[in-house]
Amino acid sequence: MVGKMAGFIASKAATHVASLALDKRRKACRALTKLYFCVSALDEACGDVLHTFEDFRANGAAFGLVNALNNHMHDVAHATNMFVDLGYELEAGLRIIDPALAATCQALYRGKFDLLSFLSTSIVWDRQGDKSQILVKAPTGQMDTVDLEATYRESLVALGRGEKMYWPETALNDFEGGFETVSIGWDDEGTAETLHEMLISQKASLAEAREKLRSLLAEKFSIHEVLFQADSHPYR
């Protein structure tokens, strides 16, 4: 979900930022810069999980993945919670760039506390039974079916006809429905292989979004805009 939406934001923002006034450009750039660091942190955490998996893989896929998730679950939690901290500023930044883009990506900042709760338990140990296992909230693929371009067009039409606040209904509004809890223990080889393949796919999506954001910042903004800070309430 993060890679998909961050990449979409970068693509759309690239066509709008050139026409912004200087003060607006600075605030928009700051929000996009922070989004870049959030995506980078999650991309790197995912990479660390995959690297540790390879270190332990000789003893089996399940052994490797359990160790990798155990060693980096706090890194993943920290990286994902960075998006919650960014929420209000990202909303304000996207509204400066393109109100329809802000409406389309509203799931990143609406439902803030639900998202925080969801992320904080995305990878946890379950030691209630005879054998300890890790519980992972894994994507079902539902988020991949969300047509952000179609949602963006709907937002453009709604805002164009004078609606002040428009929040399109998509699968992103009920993001929890796009995930299932999967348990993995020391002997769950099949599950481990499936999750490993999923992590590789997620890593590729995050890396692509990270590069799109990096290119956007490098090509469309100056170093002064990237480093801009004004006050303690940047989203106002």
pLDDT tens digits, one per residue of 148-207? 899 899 889 998 898 877 777 776 667 777 889 999 999 999 999 999 999 999 999 999
Evaluate whether residue 85 is within a structural domain: yes
- Check residue 229 and give its pLDDT: 64
- Check residue 23 and give its pLDDT: 82
Evaluate whether residue 233 is within a structural domain: no
Evaluate whether residue 132 is within a structural domain: yes
- What is the three-class DSSP state of 136? strand
Q: Are the CB atoms for 9 and 169 separated by under 8 Å?
A: no
Evaluate whether residue 231 is within a structural domain: no
Evaluate whether residue 9 is within a structural domain: yes
* Better pLDDT: 59 or 173: 59
Evaluate whether residue 235 is within a structural domain: no
pLDDT tens digits, one per residue of 101-155? 988 887 666 656 666 677 778 899 998 888 889 999 988 888 778 888 998 998 8
Q: Are the CB atoms for 95 and 102 separated by under 8 Å?
A: yes
pLDDT tens digits, one per residue of 199-228? 999 999 999 999 999 999 999 998 888 887
- Check residue 112 and give its pLDDT: 60
- The domain in which residue 18 lies consists of 2-226
Evaluate whether residue 112 is within a structural domain: yes
What are the contacts of 122-130 at 24+ separation with CB within 8 A?
122/76, 122/77, 122/80, 123/69, 123/73, 123/76, 123/77, 124/73, 125/70, 126/183
The pTM for the full model equals 0.88
Number of domains in the chain: 1
Evaluate whether residue 232 is within a structural domain: no
